[in-house]
Structure 1
Amino acid sequence: MDKTLKIYIALLVLLIAAIVVIDSNRPKPIDWTPTFSLKDKIPYGMYVFDQEINSLLKGQKIRKFKTTPYEYFDSKYDYDSLVNDYRIKGTFLSISKISNFDDQSITEICSFVDHGNNAFISSEMIPNALLDSLNLKMDSEYKYSDSIYNWVANKKLGNQKYKIIEGVNNNYFSKIDTLNTTVLGYQNGDSTRINFIKVNYKTGVFYLHTQPVAFTNFHLLKGNHHEYAEKVLSYIPKRKVFWCVKDQTGEVISDSPMRYILSQPSLKWAWYIFLIGMLVFIFFNAKRKQRVVPIIKPLANTTVDFTKTIGNLYYQEGDHNNIIDKKIIYFLEKIRNEY
């Protein structure tokens, strides 16, 4: 390797090292993705809310669950004909950008509330199945202003309006059932709209809110915005809170049927017994089976038979002189070759 090539290689190494150092020291751009994940410390994560929920909901026991509401609450229901009630009492809590509950979960949430419990859902998009059950309708309007003011209707909690710019949406409740619904909060962009309501549902209550961004890291740490979150959450009754954090913990939960099978003790053991049985079958019956090797008889020595056959041919011909001449020739040839 000549000197010039060494210099070029050294310069290339220095250039790569400089690029790595500069890139590592460059400030990373802020990630504004609205993940609403409890593990994310980015602006629209919910790490702060997760750490401070006991302070926001003082005196209330918080229980998180990572399954669907249907799977969680159905397992807590006592189907005994003398009971027919849930073994737990309290408030269902869900805060997410979009509430993508399946129909079974919506039915289960309504059943849970019907049995004297509550549900608090803060989401930009509330499932239509739930809106239809509560005789509600949501709409969205184009706003010319770049900010929205949010406040609660209860004057005892103060008249402060909180200006939210980052991450707000313009969804609101355009239709409510006035006989069963109480307006708890408003938002004002270009016009005043309802964004927080209380809906009486049979023997329970739904609390529905359309600005979940108020509970993200950015707004809980910005100025006095945490006060708005505290006021909204103050409507939750002082009971146990069952917080649905499905898809918000950073864990990937399979939606395959196996997840449900493994979550049920009887089905889980049936599955394990099946697997053990298959392994036993494979071990004892699935060995490679070889066909019986046939016995191959060795070839018989036919030299004597051949000699007898040739002898019989000459004997039948009766030409003894010919064979004597051949023997003399072969004998002399042998003497010449060997001696």
Structure 2
Amino acid sequence: MSAYQLGIIEGFYGRQWSWEDRCDMAAFLAGAGYSHYLYAPKGDTSLRARWREPFNALESLSALAAECRTQGLKFGVGLSPMGLQMGYTKADRQVLLDRLRELDATGLEVLWILFDDMRGDRSELAANQCAVMADVRQAFSGELAVCPSYYSFDPVLDEVFGQRPQHYLQDLAAGLDDSVGILWTGNQVINQTITAQDCLQFTRLTGRKALLWDNYPVNDGRKTSPYLNLNAFTGRQPELAEFAAGHFANPMNQPNLSKIPLRTLPPLFQGYTDADALRAQSLSLLPEALASLLARDWEIFQRRGLDGLGQAEKASLEADYTALDHPAADEVCDWLNGGYTFDPECLTG
């Protein structure tokens, strides 16, 4: 995995994309300079709460994998085998191998095993996960990575999922094959900045480079769903390509609006770091009327958010965007009308 990986991880909660959205996103990513597409929506229960059952969308998954190959992207899936972090038996192993065979048949080149957002306060946590990953490594020959249960230094993870075992990250890294990447969101779950020093701290602990899972521009949470994150990537510098193994952005629930900030990540690694210029360049690729409105309103959407808008202002904005025939404008209107309101039940799967 010497080449720097640059992709998206469709890994959010809440309202999901359609298969048409996903194929369209693959074409966009290829044109924007990305190398990978990881499919791992929390809303696909076949990948998470019901992972022990046969997958119910293999045909659609295979079609998406084929589209990614056509576009020159590497396609991957994120599987979340809930429960195996707490205990791993021979019966569990057989079910896991059955699921891996099904996924492998779709043509994926990348596999992530995701232990994020699961209870983890167990002394055997790292050992169980290393045992799982050893079996996965034996069964799958492509690019492989694991998301730890504690995927950040952020103490909020301990508050929500139980106190992390002492030396957990070091023990996990020590027990993994060298070819297995470790996903990491940075010092926090959602970061204003991710720096080379942050990555070096991770490397000192684990002995390997972090595979960055960047939670921008994602807006799937209770606190973040009232906002549309349309600004360019900031607080990330080109030298991350030297100190990390790759960079994967988690997009918004709105696929078309997500393309505005997503366009601005690949240029960072070519040395272009002027956020205002990158945002303007991204907007300029939209129809002129829509670009003009979003240039006017992006700060309102991202910094004031839905809760900061009065009814009259919402109505005025909706009238402006309803007048435009574009899927991104439709997403703005849907957002203004509460179509992406956070539903806590999305967390139960």
Q: TM-score range by the shorter chain?
A: under 0.3
Larger radius of gyration: 1
Give the TM-score normalised by the residue count of structure 1. 0.27
